[in-house]
Amino acid sequence: MNYSPSQSNGQYGVKPEPYVTQYNTSPPPQFYPASSTLYGHAQAPAQEGTLSPKEFPMNLKAWMHIFGPQKLHMRWWYTHHIKLPGWKYESEQTFRHRDFAGRVRTGPMEDRYLHHLDGRLRKLIVACSDDLFEGPDNTTWRRTYVRMVSPLKVRIATWVIDFSYDPRSWDDWWIMLLRAFPAAFAMSFLFYTSANERWQFNKWYAPVPYQYYGDAKTWSNHLENRIGTSLLARNNDVYRLLKPRHLCFLREPYDDELHGVDVRSVADWEVTDGVDAPLNYLFIAYSTEHFSHDSQEDKAALHVIAETAARAAKVPAYWVAVSCMRDPDELESDVEAKKYPQVYRISDVVRGAQAMVIAVGQPKSSSMKVPTSKLLSQWGSRMWTFPEVLLSPGQTIAVYTRGSDLRAPLRVSKNQFAGRVWSASDATEARQLIDHYLGSLGLSRLELAVTALKCLYNRYTTEYLAGDQAYALMGLLRLRPQVDQTDTPFQAFARLSLANDSDKLLERYLCTLPVSMTQPWYIMDDAYNSRLWDVEPYCQVAAICDRDTVILDGARGASIRWKSFFPVGFETGPSFKRQMAVLAMQNNGTVFVVGIVLCTFSGLVPLLAFFGVVLLLLAIWIWLQSPRLIRTTYGGKLTDVQAALFGFEGYINAPAVERSIFGGCFNRMGWSANGSLLSRSVVNEHGERFGVDPTKDPAVRELVQRAKHAKPGDMRVFTLVDTYNMEMTMFEAVRPPTCVFLCASEGGMQRAIACSYDWTTQTMYRETVLRMPTPALNRMERVPRFRIGIQRAEMPSRPVVGVAV
């Protein structure tokens, strides 16, 4: 396919209004006056009264591919030619699937989808552009060509005008006049004016016939959890610790000299010495990188620092993990912690302390003296130290350095801690969290969870459980689900999100589009540059499943038809011009016969010859005008249309798609202005925004060219055709999504999660996220709760022997 401007395959404006534009990269070919306009931001107006050059439909080969060199497979029951996959999955395993009607099917791993009519599992056939169909077989799904499904009579009629530059120009009038003769003659032998225009599903989009039969690891509702897992799933209040179990109590606490400490149970101390005394203590924060638990010397030095700090603060006790976490279910470095992982309630110990001090020391691996600032940065790089700083009481934190003057510790203000200690990582985000806990800045529940999770993943830790980051975040939130050793990081975070009122964080995240394929789930940046709080979901996560998937309920869904277009039913409003055109064509034969009869009897009455000639000339004129009359009949503004979603791989311009479905270029079908990252738009001199062909942008055009050589697992270019909104949206995805789910609104449009179907696990996997107009909700049904995953694992595949790839 040639995208050069001299060809007739997609380089002119599809709207009659004049507009100007400029590409984001290299200057475009000059079809219209150049300007300094970027996509979506018009600057220089075009001359008043000028029209943008007309865009011709691409010439699709359609059934002519039958005579090409490709090896095609015939589907006799649909008389459809397809190309078999060029790649095959390596797995020889047999999988089982149960559809919504209870029918069970087994078979090997193949690309399949749920048919929108009967819900059966069928092999995926994807229509594609001519250049892809004639190119290498580099897919795991079947391919076919794009067929012309519109009425042949309408296509012949519109052929007279669609392929002419300007119907109002005298230069092109002669070309149209010459075409009118063969067109009118051909239409004289066509008695069918329609191609069985299809009305289905009460004019709504094709539904998603899906029923999930599997179980979940954790259901949101207690009744749906298996016996024995209910408490594990939603026991959210077992970790609130009002006071520590053990403390290091100073001997002679009112003396400034060091006399040692006694590690005692707080319950015993309250009975004997603390009957009427308040429980004041210091929290000693340190890193095992500086003070090893295996070294008696390090532990002794740590206690010296802790006792010095406690006596200076005039408190009778302090809490330090190496001595006060005496139970095996409290020490995070203990092997038993994996069996009783209640270490994650240390945050409550920090909250109950009078103050927190940080102890740092020279690491044994260093031969040179390390300054305190660097030691403090090393301490701050550990994950578990981050919530300690956030939750520590007071406005300042004292830092004691081993081997220095302990009577003059370094005091760091908390509001300066981020810039001083975390300047090399995430000082901006960390400062926001510190200000939030200091009370000078209020973060929403969404901002708190997302920012804290991002900061925790930016720090190092020795992994004890896969969900350590989520469990560390758990200390910052009010409700805390019970720790599950089998949780993946995403599952742990998902359970924490369900347990707390997090403003539907998971639902919002599912509706975002990752910036890249390699973006980890905990980086919740959106490719559309929207923030999570900009997305307003109207669906609900009902459960958490294996393989980092969730059960989603309340979404609206529609199936995408990939194998071919079908003649879409539509209606136009009443029009006197259209009625006259229909009457002229219906009665033209009668006029012609009456004219011949009158000429025949002109010998009896000479005046009849005059009327006969007039009627004959009128009939001939109507006959020559039949292409334009048919275009008038089928043209006009739509008052109702069958809602349908079609998809094809590659690029075909909008006039060719409209001609394939509706029979002609009626300027109804256009490109989405902002439906995907590949969408492009311009603003004309009147301030009106229109979507334009994305391939006008050289960057997108180059992307389309590269996608022709994509292998399984690489990003490809697809196009979605929406007949209800009369929009086409080009987007990138690894696999063709077989359905879309509207789950949220954002920026005046609907977030549509386009999903492929993994029939082996009954899971919908997010391939991309599009933006659809809000009226699409009017024609889309609710979908029963379904299983959805954020990233589909790529199954190993290999080229089929004897197939060119």
For the stretch 316-340, pLDDT in tens is 999 999 999 876 444 333 333 333 3
Q: Which of 661, 678, 680, 679 is nearest to 669 (CA)?
A: 661
Query: Given the structure tokens 């929207």, which residue do they identify?
Result: 530
**pLDDT at residue 70 tops 90:** no
Among 63-77, 119-133, 452-466, 549-563, the minimum mean pLDDT is found in 63-77
**pLDDT at residue 44 tops 50:** no
Q: Which of 357, 356, 365 is nearest to 292 (CA)?
A: 365
**pLDDT at residue 362 tops 60:** yes
Among 55-64, 176-185, 561-570, 599-608, the minimum mean pLDDT is found in 176-185
Between 228 and 631, the more confident residue is 631
The per-residue pLDDT for 2 is: 38
CA distance linking residue 120 with residue 224, whole number of Å: 28
**Strands across the sheet containing 317-319:** 261-265, 246-250, 317-319, 281-285, 355-360, 396-401, 410-413
- DSSP reduced 3-state for 529: coil
CA angle 805, 754, 668 (to 5 degrees): 95
Across 368-383, average pLDDT? 91
Between 793 and 187, the more confident residue is 793
Q: How far, in Å, are 293, 334, 401 from residue 286 at the CA level? A: 11, 17, 11
Decide: residue 225, CB within 10 A, 0-12 exposed, 13-18 middle, 19+ buried: buried
CA distance linking residue 335 with residue 151, whole number of Å: 74
Q: What secondary structure letter does DSSP report for 180?
A: H
Q: How far, in Å, are 224, 230, 241 from residue 482 at the CA level? A: 18, 11, 14
Strand intervals (E) in 623-780: 638-641, 645-649, 670-671, 680-683, 689-692, 716-722, 727-733, 739-746, 749-758, 763-772
The per-residue pLDDT for 184 is: 65
The per-residue pLDDT for 101 is: 94
CA distance linking residue 68 with residue 318, whole number of Å: 84
Among 17-31, 85-99, 134-148, the minimum mean pLDDT is found in 17-31
Q: Which of 198, 292, 120 is nearest to 642 (CA)?
A: 198
Integer distance in angstroms from the first to the last C-alpha of the chain? Answer: 19
CA distance linking residue 305 with residue 404, whole number of Å: 10
Across 635-658, average pLDDT? 92
**pLDDT at residue 366 tops 80:** no
Task: Read off the tokens for 28.
Answer: 């475009």
CA distance linking residue 317 with residue 246, whole number of Å: 10
> Are residues 757 and 114 in contact, defined by beta-carbon separation less than 8 angstroms?
yes
Number of neighbours of residue 439 by Cβ within 10 angstroms: 7
**pLDDT at residue 665 tops 50:** yes
Radius of gyration of the chain (CA): 36
Question: Could you tell me where the DSSP H helices lie in 527-636?
Answer: 576-600, 606-624, 626-634
Across 684-709, average pLDDT? 94
Among 298-312, 478-492, 532-546, the minimum mean pLDDT is found in 478-492
Task: Read off the tokens for 93.
Answer: 């395993």
CA distance linking residue 523 with residue 556, whole number of Å: 27
Q: What secondary structure letter does DSSP report for 340?
A: S
DSSP letters along 377-441, please?
A: HHHHTBTTHHHHHHH--SSEEEEEETTS-TTS-EEEEHHHHHHHHSTTTTHHHHHHHHHHHHTSS
Across 782-804, average pLDDT? 89
* pLDDT category of residue 9 using cuts at 50, 70 and 90: very low
Q: Which of 84, 204, 50, 48 is nearest to 780 (CA)?
A: 204
The per-residue pLDDT for 680 is: 96
Decide: residue 277, CB within 10 A, 0-12 exposed, 13-18 middle, 19+ buried: exposed
Task: Read off the tokens for 581.
Answer: 């055109």
Across 603-632, average pLDDT? 79
**pLDDT at residue 303 tops 70:** yes
The per-residue pLDDT for 13 is: 35
CA distance linking residue 205 with residue 556, whole number of Å: 10
CA distance linking residue 556 with residue 747, whole number of Å: 18
Number of neighbours of residue 431 by Cβ within 10 angstroms: 18
Among 66-70, 505-509, 511-515, 774-778, the minimum mean pLDDT is found in 66-70
* pLDDT category of residue 235 using cuts at 50, 70 and 90: low
CA distance linking residue 437 with residue 386, whole number of Å: 13
Strand intervals (E) in 100-256: 104-107, 112-114, 121-123, 125-128, 142-145, 218-219, 246-250
**pLDDT at residue 429 tops 90:** yes
pLDDT in tens, 149-175: 877 777 776 776 665 555 555 566 666
The per-residue pLDDT for 91 is: 92
> Are residues 114 and 738 in contact, defined by beta-carbon separation less than 8 angstroms?
yes
Q: Which residues pair with 282 in a beta bridge?
A: 318, 355
Angle between helices 152-162 and 654-662 in degrees, nearest 10: 150
Mean pLDDT of the chain: 84
> Are residues 13 and 53 in contact, defined by beta-carbon separation less than 8 angstroms?
yes
The per-residue pLDDT for 436 is: 96
* pLDDT category of residue 107 using cuts at 50, 70 and 90: very high
* pLDDT category of residue 619 using cuts at 50, 70 and 90: confident
Backbone angles phi, psi at 609, to 5 degrees: -60, -40
Query: Given the structure tokens 């009902």, which residue do they identify?
Result: 542
The per-residue pLDDT for 338 is: 39
Helix, strand, coil: what percent of the chain each, to 5?
30, 20, 50
